[in-house]
């Protein structure tokens, strides 16, 4: 296992190293008058707002003496459908929140690099589709943004596999380099971890990548 992990990450790093001149060439097209900084801020804004909303929701839940987690996804319950858009903003504790906000932001920034409209539209689609699948498959109440994290992850990788462009492959390489270990979450059946949520998010990311491809979106 260690050998294959080392082999995998070595090849990812090697590809990113070879692709560095292409990235430098892309950014060098922008004059150093604040345009490049503006572009980077654009990529960060929406993912930061989304991540901030998740953190604020947790703080409100922490301060107000009400168990907000009861508004999560109740499987195969009509009222549980209302938890689909709310679930990504609810977390069972600080550890749960902490494990989700960093990949949510980082993968969100990578997805945002394909365009603002794509980021917003695909995020909404992933939340709804992964939530619906979780509603169908889960055996207990589900809360947390991990389903959306897995959806981002599979979207970025699926896009690279389908399009095979320099940009998509570099982004997928960064995705795997940072969060390649997420694949282990699909094989985790431990108590307190929603396998159904992870699996549903992964499926949703693949489906949305096919139905809402990055190359057909406007920035």
Residue extents of the structural domains in the chain: 2-216
The reported pLDDT for the residue numbered 29 is 42
Whether 163 and 108 have beta carbons less than 8 Å apart is answered as no
The answer to whether 120 and 60 are in contact (CB under 8 A) is: no
* Consecutive H or E run containing 9: helix 2-27
Question: In sequence order, what are the beta bridge partners of 197?
Answer: none
Nearest residue to 17 (alpha-carbon basis) of 205, 127, 170, 215 = 170
CATH T-level topology, domain 2-216: Rhomboid-like fold (1.20.1540)
Q: What is the pLDDT of residue 8?
A: 47
Give the chain's mean pLDDT: 83
Reading the block at residue 86, the tokens are: 């709310």
CA distance 38 to 199: 36
Torsion angle of alpha carbons 119, 125, 129, 130, nearest 10°? Answer: 20
How confident is the model at residue 192, as a pLDDT?
66
Dist. CA 127–CA 104, nearest whole Å: 13
Residues 6+ apart with CB under 8 A from 219: 114, 115, 116, 117
Provide the 10 A C-beta neighbour count for residue 12. 18
Residues 111/156, Cβ–Cβ less than 8 Å: yes
pLDDT for 10: 52
Quote the CA–CA distance of 37 and 198 in Å, as a whole number: 34
Classify residue 73 by its DSSP letter: B
What residue ranges of the chain have pLDDT lower than 70?
Answer: 1-40, 187-192, 216-219
Specify the residue for token string 């992933």. 126
Q: Which residues pair with 142 in a beta bridge?
A: 73
pLDDT at residue 104, rounded to an integer = 97
Residue 183 pLDDT: 83
Residue 53 tokens read as: 């909303």
Residues 6 or more apart whose Cβ sits within 8 Å of residue 20: none
Separation between Cα atoms, residue 61 and residue 166, nearest integer Å: 43
Q: For the chain, how long is the longest CA-to-CA vector? A: 55
- pLDDT tens, position by position, 51-71: 999 999 999 999 998 888 889
């Amino acid at each position: 296992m260690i050998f294959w992990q080392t082999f995998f990450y070595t090849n990812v790093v090697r590809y990113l190293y070879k692709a560095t001149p292409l990235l430098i060439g892309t950014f060098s097209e922008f004059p150093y008058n604040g345009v490049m900084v503006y572009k980077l801020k654009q990529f960060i804004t929406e993912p930061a707002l989304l991540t901030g909303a998740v953190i604020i929701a947790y703080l409100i839940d922490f301060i107000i003496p009400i168990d907000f987690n009861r508004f999560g996804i109740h499987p195969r319950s009509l009222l549980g459908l209302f938890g689909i858009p709310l679930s990504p903003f609810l977390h069972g504790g600080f550890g749960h929140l902490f494990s989700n906000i960093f990949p949510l932001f980082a993968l969100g920034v990578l997805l945002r690099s394909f365009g603002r409209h794509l980021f917003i539209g695909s995020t909404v689609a992933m939340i709804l589709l992964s939530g619906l699948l979780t509603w169908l498959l889960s055996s207990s109440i589900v809360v947390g943004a991990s389903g959306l994290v897995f959806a981002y992850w599979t979207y970025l990788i699926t896009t690279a596999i389908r399009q095979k462009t320099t940009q998509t492959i570099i982004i997928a390489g960064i995705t795997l380099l940072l969060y390649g270990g997420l694949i282990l979450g699909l094989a985790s059946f431990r108590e307190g971890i929603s396998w159904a949520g992870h699996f549903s998010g992964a499926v949703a990311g693949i489906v949305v990548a096919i139905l809402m491809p990055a190359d057909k979106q406007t920035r």
